[in-house]
Amino acid sequence: MDKVVSSAGEAIAGIGHRASLAVGGFGLCGIPSALIHALHEAGVGDLEIVSNNCGVDDWGLGILLRDRRIRRVVASYVGENKEFARQYLAGELEVELTPQGTLAERLRAGGAGIPGFYTLTGTGTQVADGGLPWRYHPDGSVAVASPPKETRDFHIEGNTRSYVLEEAIVADFGLVRAWKGDRHGNLVFRRSSRNFNPLCAMAGRVTIAEVEHLVEPGELAPDAIHLPGIYVHRVLPLTPEQAGDKRIERRTNRQRPAPDGLSAAGDAPQDRRP
């Protein structure tokens, strides 16, 4: 039952070329950066990545993308990575853009053993009708387009509407980061990192979790556990330095409101005499 491994290299053992990976995180929040770095160091390539997004140019999955280690991406948001856009438009990368909620449910369905589900999302668009560019030729023409998906009418609450069939996602490996975890693989995620990490863990045939705080079995309250250890095969404890090495995807600042009588820069009260 003790699933703890001693090194990142041991954690990623068995991940080879052309593997499919479900990678947790939301933006740069909760990404398994230590495992991604280990994959980069191991030289693994030709990967298919399923993730909400693909990191930024110099962090997260972006470092694999930069060195041409990724051949295909299934994602819902890719707007923070210039190299991603360049490779996609140049025909170097295949991209299956998927509505965010649909992607989450495809991963959850894969982990739950459900082969597919019907959803309203995408009905009447190219998501259902096909024709979305998955890969371009270098000259800008479409090399691979999305196929049409099965649709079916359902009569619900007096209304008949068309729904599109989405298939579940099961990946060779799931890579996630947890705030806390025990030796049995029970995991707790913090805030936004809970958005996709549990789903990616469920969707992996072999799931590897890096944890910021490793605790002993029994220390996690049963009701506090977000993902039971049945889904997790390996646990990598992070050092304090690794756990603290986090990036912000985009920092925006606004001017702090000034107290009455002070300028925005915090100068001395202004003379208000007439």
End-to-end CA distance of the chain: 78
Q: What is the pLDDT of residue 259?
A: 74
- Do residues 90 and 138 make contact, with C-beta atoms less than 8 angstroms apart? yes
Domain membership of residue 160 as a residue range: 117-167
- The model's pTM is 0.88
Cα–chain center distance at 200: 7
Q: Is residue 260 part of a domain?
A: no
**Residues 176, 75 within the same domain:** yes
Same domain, 59 and 152: no
pLDDT one-digit tens code per residue, 176-233? 999 999 999 999 999 999 999 999 999 999 999 999 999 999 999 999 999 999 999 9
> Is the same domain home to 17 and 98?
yes
Whether 1 is covered by a domain: the verdict is: no
175 and 161 within one domain: no
In-domain check, residue 221: yes
In a domain? residue 124: yes
Whether residue 250 lies inside any domain: the answer is no
| Residue 88 lies inside a defined structural domain of this protein | yes
Question: Are residue 97 and residue 136 in the same domain, yes or no?
Answer: no
Instruction: Kindly list the distances between the CA atom of residue 261 and the CA atoms of 133, 254, 274, in Å, as whole numbers in the listed order.
Output: 57, 20, 15
Task: Give a yes or no: residue 223 inside a domain.
Answer: yes
Contact 21, 173 (CB under 8 A): yes
Q: pLDDT digit string (tens) for 241-264?
A: 989 888 877 777 888 777 775 544
The burial class, CB within 10 Å (0-12 / 13-18 / 19+), for 189 is buried
Helices of type H across the chain: 8-11, 33-42, 62-66, 82-89, 100-112, 126-129, 197-203, 240-244
Scanning 174-274, the segments in alpha helix (DSSP H) are: 197-203, 240-244
| Cα distance between residue 61 and residue 54, in whole Å | 5
Is 272 inside any structural domain?
no
For residues 97 and 22, membership in a common domain is answered with yes
pLDDT at 256: 78
Q: Are the C-beta atoms of residues 70 and 64 closer than 8 Å to each other?
A: yes
Residues of the chain with pLDDT under 70: 261-274
Q: Are residues 18 and 151 in the same domain?
A: no
Same domain (yes/no): 102, 205: yes
The number of folded domains in the chain is 2
Give the Cα separation of 256 and 60 in Å (integer): 31
Verify that 52 and 25 share a domain, yes or no. Answer: yes
Residues paired with residue 133 on neighbouring β-strands, in sequence order: 145
Residue 255, C-beta contacts closer than 8 angstroms, at least 6 positions apart = 264
> Could you tell me the CATH number of the domain that includes residue 194?
3.40.1080.10
pLDDT attached to residue 79: 79
Q: Are 199 and 112 in contact (CB under 8 A)?
A: no
**Nearest alpha-carbon partner for 259 in 271, 268, 250:** 268
DSSP state for residue 211 in the 8-state scheme: E
- 29 and 157 co-located in one domain: no
Q: 167, 201, 236: which is the final residue of a domain?
A: 167
Interior angle at CA 151, CA 147 and CA 153, nearest 5:
170
